[in-house]
Amino acid sequence: MTNRSIFGRKVAAAVAGGASARMLVHGHSHVAGQGSGSSGGLTNAALTGFCEKLATSFATYGLTAKRTGWMADYNTSIDGTNINTFDSRVGFGSGWVSHTSNNVLGGRHIWQSGTASGKGYLTYQPGFTFNGLRAWYPLSPGLSTNVGIYLDNALFTSLNQNGPVNAITASTISAGAPHSLLTVKENGGAGPAFWNGVEFYPTTLPNIAVTVAGGRGQTSDVFANGHDAWSPLPGLAAFSADLVVLYCMTNDLLTNNAVYFFKRNLAAMAVTSVVRGNCIIVVDPPATGSGPFINGTYEDYAEAAKSVAAQYGCGFVDTRMIFSRSWDRANADGLMNSAAHPNDTGHQYIADMIAQEAMKFVN
C-alpha cells in the first residue's frame, strides 16, 4: 500500500469516486481576492482571486478543484464595502449585517436580529448546482430556535441555534435533487440568527473542494484569537480541513507587529491545522517599498514562517521566488495591482505555487 499524507489519502479517495478532499485557505485580503480581476479593485474581486484560480492550477495535474465554500463576510465592513459588491454570489437582505466586533474564521459573523420586522434573506448563489451543503453557525443561549434554510426559495429545514453553552457547530443538509440557490432567514425564533459560513456539495463533486476564509485587513493576532468558542482559532479547529493554507503576513508587517508575536500566532494556527490535516504556510509577496518591507523585517518574517513550517511538517511557499523581494520590481514586472495587493496575473502565479506545493502531499 502506498503511504500517503492526510490530504493525499483524501484526494485519492475523491479520484476513486468518494467525497471531495477539503482545502481551506485562511488569511487576509489576498485570500479574499482583492486586486484580481478586470476591475482590479473591490468589485467582484472575490470571483477572480487565487482561490478561484486554483481550479486551473490543479487541472494541470489532472485533478478537478472548485471553490465551494464561504466563511464569514470577508470583513467587508473594514471599508464599508457591501458584500454583494465584493462577491455578487452572496447578498445581504434586509436585517442581515456584519457583526461590529465578533471576529470569526473568514472575517466577522453575519447576523440578523430576531426582533426586526421585514426580515430579508441571506443569499448564496454559488454558480453551480448542489445536492447538499454543510451550514456553519454558533450555538449560544438566547439565539434563534428557528433559522430557516431555503433551497430555490422553498423552506427546506430549520436550524436551532439556542444551545446551553457557547459553541460552533455544523449541520450537514442533504438536499436530494439539484438546487442552485440557498437563502437563510430568522423565522421568529425569539432571538437573533448568526451565520459562520457554508460549504456546498456540487452535483458533480470535485476532487478538491476549496473553502475561502479571507478576512480583509485582519492580522495574525485576529487569526490566532481563541477568546470565544466561535473565534477564528476554534473555528479553524472545528473546520478540520484536510489541507489548510495559511496566508497571513502582509497586514502584520504593515502594522509593525513584532516578529515574535507573528511567529507565535502562526505556530498556533499551524499546530491547530496539522493536528487534523496537512498545512502549507505562505510567504506573501512584497508590499509597498517602505518600512518593514525594506528594513529587514520582511526577511525576518519569512525566516519565522520557514521555521514554523519546518517545526510542524508544513509545506512552504515563498512567493518571493516569483515576485522578488521588492514591490518596485514586482510592480514593474506587471504583478501588482496596488501598494499591497497582487493583480490578476499575480494571483494566478500564487495559485500555481500553492497547487504545486499541495501536490507534494498527493504524490
SS3 at position 99: strand
Please state, in angstroms and rounded to a whole number, the distance separating the CA atoms of residues 359 and 319. 17
Distances (CA, A) of 14 to 20, 22, 174: 5, 10, 19
Closest C-alpha to 262, from 295, 222, 228: 222
Contact of 288 with 339, CB cutoff 8 Å: yes
pTM of the model: 0.97
**Which domains does the chain carry?**
6-361 (3.40.50.1110)
278-313, pLDDT tens digit by residue?
A: 999 999 999 986 789 888 999 999 999 999 999 999
SS3 at position 270: helix
Please state, in angstroms and rounded to a whole number, the distance separating the CA atoms of residues 297 and 310. 20
Residue 208 has pLDDT above 80, yes or no: yes
Average pLDDT, the chain: 95
Q: What is the pLDDT of residue 333?
A: 97
Backbone angles phi, psi at 98, to 5 degrees: -75, 140
All three cell numbers of 167: 459553541
Mean of the pLDDT values across residues 70-74?
A: 97
Contact of 318 with 311, CB cutoff 8 Å: no
List Cβ neighbours of 154 (8 Å cut-off, separation of 6 or more): none
How sure is the predictor about 158, in pLDDT bands with cuts at 50, 70 and 90?
very high
